[in-house]
Amino acid sequence: MKTIQFDNKKIAPSKVVCVGRNYVEHIEELGNEMPENMVIFNKPNSAISSTLRYFDPACRFEGELCLLIMGGRIAGLGLGLDLTHADIQNRQKIKGLPWERAKAFDGSAVLSAFVPFEGNLEAVRFELIRNGVLAQHADYTLMMYKPHEILEEISSFMTLDDGDIIMTGTPKGVNTYEKEDLFEMKLFENDSIIMEGLWHADA
């Protein structure tokens, strides 16, 4: 089982639950329809990775705020890259087929360590810097569905086991990436950095 670090302990999530189309400007940049309901899909434990692999020229990065669930509540926060085979996803969408081939492949959930969090989620924001240039940023106000709303919706039909991860969606700025690209993510509460993630593609 793949593991993540939480409060200096190793935890094996049973799954990663992902929210799609949670930022209006990201929906618009990809030309997608505005969803009537929350878009949710899963990545298996085998998708989890602490390192970033370069797959192919069509593979896209999507930076996201991640929630760690313990006892049915948000116990910790982390950062992640949701990797997508964009060419495969586009073909699947045209045919009305599921996204697993494009979204749930091994190594597609690149996750940082997680830190305990008891603060104000409304004050949380993140930045994703690629090769020294700001590529994505997001805060609470930009999310269509807020963290506790996401948790409530998922829990209404799916059991979240202790250690499961929720990836809350990506803002505008998604793109393909190259081998040797350097990604830095910073998670803030107000202006204080509470954790960071660093990935060097196939370094």
Domain locations in the chain? 4-200
Q: What is the DSSP letter of 9?
A: E
Distance spanning both ends of the chain, measured CA to CA: 23
On the question of pLDDT at 44 being above 90, the answer is yes
The answer to whether 183 and 201 are in contact (CB under 8 A) is: yes
Identify the pLDDT of residue 123. Answer: 98
- DSSP 3-state assignment of 43? strand
Report domain 4-200's class.
alpha beta
Rounded Cα distance between 198 and 79, Å, is 10
Q: Which amino acid is at 98?
A: P
| Distances, alpha carbon 189 to alpha carbons 22, 56, 97, 115, in Å | 20, 35, 39, 12
Query: Any idea of the CA torsion for 63, 65, 67, 73, to the nearest 10 degrees?
Result: -150
Contact in structure between 19 and 39 (CB atoms under 8 Å): yes
27 — pLDDT class (breaks 50, 70, 90)? low
* Percent of the chain's residues with pLDDT above 90: 88
Provide the pLDDT confidence category of residue 203 given band limits of 50, 70 and 90: low
Percent of the chain with pLDDT over 70: 99
Task: Give residue-wise pLDDT tens across range 76-124.
Answer: 999 999 999 999 998 998 899 898 999 999 999 999 999 999 999 999 9
Angle among Cα 82, 86, 91 to the nearest 5 degrees reads 130
